[in-house]
Amino acid sequence: MTSRVIFNAKQIQKTLERLASQVWEQMSDTENLALVGIQRRGVDLAARLKVMLEEKTGQKIWLGKLDINLYRDDWTNMTSTPMINSTEITFPVADKQLVLVDDVLYTGRTVRSALDALLDFGRPGRIKLLVLIDRGHRELPIHADFVGMKISTSPGEQVDVLLQERDGEDKVLLSNVDK
């Protein structure tokens, strides 16, 4: 498998700053704004965005963590048991302006699972999707409202987001997994 860096640490930081500015501009009700990161790296990105948004708005921004594994549509077809992470949503979801955060948008199935999971907590006022990387190849009619970078990929490629909090460094890799 060959890999190349398509996004370095500095580019990730600048992109997150731009995304935080876009969220602030487009989500006018910052008093009811909440970020919900999809486990695992979406949580790390949401935590960074929370700090940036709090600096911009001067207000507390709610932060939630969402595990979607039990909502996956391929759960019964998997050969191994999925690793279950924690879901921590300590604020009322009803009428909140939610920004769902994930690292890579691909088929749309993770986002569909996340929407199902979120609705178990109540009915938000609205939900917007923010992703660091949109690589295309949707299987469901889902799009991101805030996108860090769109890249063209083939089905034989893989996008890996590495983050300091989890991996010890920030970078995005594009790998060719075809043999």
pLDDT of 143 higher than 60:
yes
Residue 3 counted as domain residue: no
Structure tokens at 36: 């919900």
Cβ contact 151:133 at 8 Å: yes
pLDDT of 142 higher than 90:
yes
Cβ contact 133:68 at 8 Å: no
Q: Which domain holds residue 40?
A: 9-73+84-153
Residue 4 counted as domain residue: no
- Distances in Å between the Cα of 67 and the Cα atoms of 35, 48, 84, 85, 134 are 14, 18, 7, 6, 20
Task: Write down the pLDDT at residue 175.
Answer: 95
Task: Write down the pLDDT at residue 82.
Answer: 59
Residue 166 counted as domain residue: no
Residue 161 counted as domain residue: no
Task: Write down the pLDDT at residue 53.
Answer: 97
Residue with structure tokens 């948008």? 105
Summarize the confidence of residues 99-117 as an average pLDDT: 96
Report the distance separating Cα 134 and Cα 105, nearest Å. 5
pLDDT digits (tens, 9 = 90+) for 16-61: 999 999 999 999 788 999 999 999 999 999 999 999 999 999 999 9
Q: Say how many domains are in the chain.
A: 1
Structure tokens at 56: 């911009």
Residue 159 counted as domain residue: no
Q: Would you say the pTM of this structure is higher than 0.85?
A: yes
Residue 135 counted as domain residue: yes
Residue 31 counted as domain residue: yes
Residue 98 counted as domain residue: yes
pLDDT digits (tens, 9 = 90+) for 62-100: 999 999 987 766 555 555 555 667 899 999 999 999 999
Q: Report the CATH number that the domain containing residue 144 is assigned in CATH.
A: 3.40.50.2020
Task: Write down the pLDDT at residue 62.
Answer: 97
Task: Write down the pLDDT at residue 158.
Answer: 95
- Mean of the per-residue pLDDT values for the chain? 92
Nearest to 40 by CA among 137, 149, 161: 161
Summarize the confidence of residues 100-124 as an average pLDDT: 96
